[in-house]
Amino acid sequence: MKKDIERVLIDEAVIEHRLDSMAKEIEEDFPAGPIIVIILLKGALVFAADLLRRIPRELSIECLNVASYHGGLESSGTVDFLDRHFPEVKGMHVLLLDDILDTGRTLAAVAQRLKQEGAAAVHTGVLLAKDKKRATDVKADYVGFQIGDEFVVGYGLDYKGKYRNLPYVGILKLSAAT
Ligand code: XMP
């Protein structure tokens, strides 16, 4: 895997340090009471696992399967909900976690659906936000790192299903993106 990485963009120690402060921000912001965390699979899995263990709060966890990239380098422009059942969120404060904010379509579509399903409030958190114009007017409440408009892998993010278990965020070599 390592041989396919052009360079490390954010190393493990820096990620861990930032997760400490993100967890603190979330812990301070959320009102007392139940929180439901919605993790967008599969990209946010690693980020969420490390972040949530830093939040000393009672919370429940649900996962959602949505597809927007279909395995390639470009967003497809549509967001598909792949699960048969949608988690029960009525009246709940939701923390929605995704790996990366790119065009913004995924986060916007899921946040809208959560509101339609009756969530009392939807807060959004991403590990990464690409510095680019979004296709839709959406912002994340908690952003780990702002990055340039480059395709990245590692720490949950993949290219064609690979590299999710790299402990850092890196840029893929062009030769590996075939
Ligand atoms: P949108 O465009 O809806 O995209 O904000 C969010 C989803 O697209 C995937 N994505 C990436 N995956 N490297 C990846 O491995 C990237 O640079 C990248 N940019 C977007 C990701 O699944 C995210 O949830």
pLDDT surpasses 80 at 169: yes
Give the pLDDT mean for 165-174. 95
Give pLDDT tens digits for 15-37.
999 999 999 999 999 988 889 99
Tokens standing for residue 65:
């399967």
In a domain, 158, yes or no: no
Amino acid at 108: A
Q: Decide: 114 and 122 in contact? Cβ < 8 Å.
A: yes
Measure the CA–CA gap between 107 and 125, rounded to whole angstroms: 9
Q: Kindly report the number of other CB atoms within 10 A of residue 26's CB atom.
A: 23
pLDDT on residue 64: 97
Mean of all residue pLDDT scores within the chain: 93
Average pLDDT on 171-176 reads 90
Atom of ligand 1 nearest to the CA of 153: 15
Task: Tell me whether residue 81 is in a domain.
Answer: yes
Q: State the average pLDDT over residues 96-109.
A: 95
Q: Is 99 a catalytic residue?
A: no
Structural domain including 24 reads 18-148
Does 83 reside within a domain?
yes
Has residue 161 been placed in a domain?
no
Give the pLDDT score at 141: 97
Asked if residues 96 and 110 have their Cβ atoms less than 8 Å apart, the reply is: yes
Residue 72: its pLDDT value, please?
A: 56
Q: How many domains does the chain have?
A: 1
> Domain holding 108: CATH number?
3.40.50.2020
pLDDT tens digits along 32-91 = 888 999 999 999 999 999 999 999 999 999 999 998 755 555 665 678 899 999 999 999
What is this structure's pTM? 0.94
To test ligand 1's pocket by mutation, which of 40, 46, 69 has the most ligand atoms within 8 angstroms of CB? 69
pLDDT recorded at residue 76: 59
